[in-house]
A and B are shown apart, each in its own frame.
Chain A
Amino acid sequence: MTMSALSTAGESPAAGLVRFVRNIAVNWAGMVALALIWEIVGQLIRQPWLPPLSEVLVRMVALFTTGGLSQHLVASLASLALGFLIALAIGLAVGILMGLFNWVYTALDVYVNAMLFTPGLIFAPILFAIFGLSDATRVSVVVIYAVFIIIINTAAAVRNVDRPLIEMAASYGASRTTTVFRIVLPDAFPLIIAGLRMGVGRAVKGMVNGEMFIALIGIGGQAARYGKQFDFTSVWAISVFIMALAVVINQLVTWLEKRMTAWVD
């Protein structure tokens, strides 16, 4: 393995451990430093658009205890979950078909890629025109955001299954159907799960952006509302919360992913 131009060469395991611990400490220190800077700058400049961190955090708590934000959070998570499940179902189905049948892959991959290049929110006006103010609009935005990355990853995972494994199965008498269920799908599983993880990330973005567009329901919707009311402390509070939520969800999904692919080398 070529050594990168900027990593240290030939260090002992003990030195590596020290470096690892130091990195974590530096990261945490960096975070703390950033937080301090935010607090100080916020106090100093006293502008409405950059409240100090302490006020933001206090407001975050307040929004949940008295501001009724919990209901909106539930609504957000509900549409996130539903949207992701729909994207999962469609994505897996289309992706597996594309992976197994080359003509399906060739027919569709240009269009799937075109959709991947396109920012999902551009479809929000159309979806809004179709579904109006119902939940379906937000759910469909989440679906649009997530489904294409799932399709493309699933298709690639299935297509790239180790050919010797397929030959081995055939040589021992497996029919094509058996090969698909016993060899292809299990072998593609880790990459499919990785695609699902990316899909969750995209789904969260779709949830936030879609809600901001509708500006009514959900935590994104509340952020938009507070924005229009020039209540920026609340806007920052919700943004920080969304950030924390996204990080937590990502960690959760990554943990699940690792557990489900324990057998990978």
Chain B
Amino acid sequence: MAGSISPAAGAEPAISPRPIAILDLRRDLTAPQALFVRILAFVVFALAWQWAAEAADSILIPTFTETMAAIYETAFVTGEIWPALWVSNLPLIIGFAISVLISVPLGLAMARWKAIDATMSPVIALALALPIAPLIPVVLVALGMGMTPKVVIIVLFSWVFIATNVRAGARRVDKSLVEMAQSYGASERQVWFRILIPGAIPAVFAGLRIGLGRAFAGMVIVELIMLPVGIGALLLDYRGDFKAGLLYATTILVMVEAVILALVMQALERRLIQWK
């Protein structure tokens, strides 16, 4: 029978070859195994770095060991890094706080009232698209040197991300919950405080986490492009003086701060969404 797809009568069944292994993409490692591979990766990286630096033999490329020594030196011996970190982080703290105070209510308002949402929509679009970095000198001339322009720049870097995340979170609150509350006679204020705000908290925190990351990026960019006073000054000095070990060390310590901030925010976020 041409074109038939039934097994032909009396045909020998196919011989099975050796069994096919099924691709398992998520076979998880145990905790000790995980720790081991991560440490192994780090060791491999450190060895490769050491070898490459020694091969390059350049005054500008420190070895892994030189860098580790420099970290120790700047953190515990001369202590140079700490005042620099403080000087750089102060505008970060103030700027982020201001950004939160402005953007969270703004995001909630945009979610609740269409008029505000419509008015702010082009501003938001502009703020998301317009690069802040080239405009830093403009801010400086408008506001002079010192703390104020740095704070303003950090606010500019972060506010729109906080606002949009808060807005998105508030919009996602289940409408039926609002209706339920209203049917039991809740006032506008009660709807806000008992339904909308608690419901939006996870997204608010996500917005804060992202906003902090952006504010931190803003701090770094200001330091490196325009106003090197804290960390930026250290980095540029070390590079100018060919103190490569300290240059790398300071960079790594900034990275460590970035990671710590991110982890803290993540932990806070997880703590707050326990109920979800």
A interface residues with partner B (beta carbon < 8 Å): 2-7, 9, 26-27, 30-31, 33-34, 47-50, 99-100, 102-103, 106-108, 110-111, 114-115, 117-119, 121-126, 128-130, 158-159, 161, 163, 166-167, 170, 173-176, 179-180, 184, 205, 208-209, 212-213, 220, 223-224, 227-228, 230, 232, 235-236, 238-240, 242-243, 246-247
**Which of A50, A115, A121, A159 gathers most chain B CB within 10 Å?**
A121
- For the complex, is B236 an interface residue (Cβ under 8 Å from A)? yes
Contact across chains for B21 and A176 when beta carbons are under 8 A apart: yes
Known A114-B255, A184-B23: A227·B111 in contact at CB below 8 Å: no
From the candidates A118, A125, A236, name the one contacting B247 in the complex (CB within 8 A): A125
Q: Which of B37, B137, B224, B259 contacts A106 (CB 8 A)?
A: B37
Query: Which B residues lie at the A interface, using CB under 8 A?
Result: 20-23, 25-29, 33-34, 37-38, 40-42, 60-61, 111-112, 114, 118-119, 121-123, 125-126, 129-131, 133-139, 141-142, 170-178, 195-196, 199, 213, 216-217, 220-221, 224-225, 235-236, 238-239, 244, 247-248, 251, 254-255, 258-259, 261-262
Chain B hits for A9, CB < 8 A: 175
> In whole Å, how far is B218's beta carbon from the nearest beta carbon of chain A?
8
Q: Which of B27, B29, B134, B258 contacts A208 (CB 8 A)?
A: B134
The interface residues of chain A, by DSSP majority, are classed as helix
Q: How far apart are the CA atoms of A26 and B38 in the complex, in Å?
A: 52
Shortest distance from the beta carbon of A60 to any chain B beta carbon, whole Å: 13
Bound-state Cα–Cα, A161 to B25, Å: 8
Checking B41, B142, B177, B238 against A108 with a beta-carbon cut-off of 8 angstroms, the contacting residue is B41
A175 — which chain B residues lie within 8 A by C-beta?
20
A87 CA to B273 CA, complexed, in Å: 35
Besides the contacts A3-B176, A121-B224, what 9 more A-B pairs have beta carbons closer than 8 Å? A2-B175, A5-B173, A6-B170, A31-B126, A212-B134, A227-B134, A232-B137, A232-B141, A235-B135
Instruction: State A47–B138 Cα separation when bound (angstroms).
Output: 11
A197 to B171, CA, bound (A): 26
- Give Cα A122–Cα B221 distance, bound, in whole angstroms: 8
Question: A173 vs B17: C-alpha distance in the bound complex, in angstroms?
Answer: 9
User: Does A50 lie within 8 Å of B142, measured CB to CB?
Assistant: yes
Q: How far is the CB of B188 from chain A (nearest CB, A)?
A: 13
Contact of A242 among B125, B134, B244, B258 (CB under 8 A): B134
Does A179 lie within 8 Å of B23, measured CB to CB? yes
Contacts of A31 in B (CB 8 A): 122, 125-126
A75 to B164, CA, bound (A): 34
Known: A5-B175, A159-B26, A235-B135. A49 touches B251 (CB 8 A): no
Q: List 14 A-B contacts (CB under 8 A).
A: A5-B178, A47-B142, A107-B40, A111-B41, A117-B261, A118-B255, A118-B259, A128-B239, A166-B22, A173-B20, A209-B221, A213-B225, A232-B138, A232-B141
Contacts of A158 in B (CB 8 A): 25
Bound-complex Cα distance A128 to B247 (A): 11
Chain B: minimal CB distance from A48 (Å)? 7
**B259 to chain A: which residues have CB within 8 Å?**
114, 117-118
In the A-B complex, the 6 residue pairs with the smallest Cβ-Cβ separation, listed nearest first, are A227-B137, A30-B122, A119-B217, A107-B37, A223-B134, A117-B262
Contacts of A30 in B (CB 8 A): 118-119, 121-123
Contact in complex: A243, B60 (CB < 8 Å): no
A209 touches B133 (CB 8 A): yes
Q: Give the residues in chain B near A173, CB-CB below 8 Å.
A: 20
Partner of A6, one of B33, B41, B135, B171: B171
Report how far A132 CA is from B255 CA in the complex, Å: 22
- A121 cross-chain contacts in B, Cβ below 8 A: 217, 220-221, 224-225
Most central of A27, A117, A170, A179 by chain B CB within 10 Å: A117
Residues in A with CB closer than 8 Å to B220 are 119, 121-122
Verify B126–A174 contact, CB threshold 8 A. Answer: no
Q: How far is the CB of A52 from chain B (nearest CB, A)?
A: 14
Contacting residue for A5 out of B114, B135, B174, CB 8 A:
B174
A128 to B248, alpha carbons, bound, how many Å?
A: 12
Contact across chains for B27 and A102 when beta carbons are under 8 A apart:
yes
Is B174's CB under 8 angstroms from A167's CB? no
B239 touches A125 (CB 8 A): yes
Q: Which residues of B contact A128 (CB under 8 A)?
A: 239
When the two chains form their complex, are residues B123 and A118 in contact, meaning their CB atoms are under 8 A apart? no
Q: Which residues of A contact B172 (CB under 8 A)?
A: 4
Query: Is A126 a contact partner of B22 (Cβ separation < 8 A)?
Result: no
Complex Cα–Cα for A129 and B58 (A) = 10
Bound CA span A220–B225, Å: 11
Question: A129 vs B221: C-alpha distance in the bound complex, in angstroms?
Answer: 18
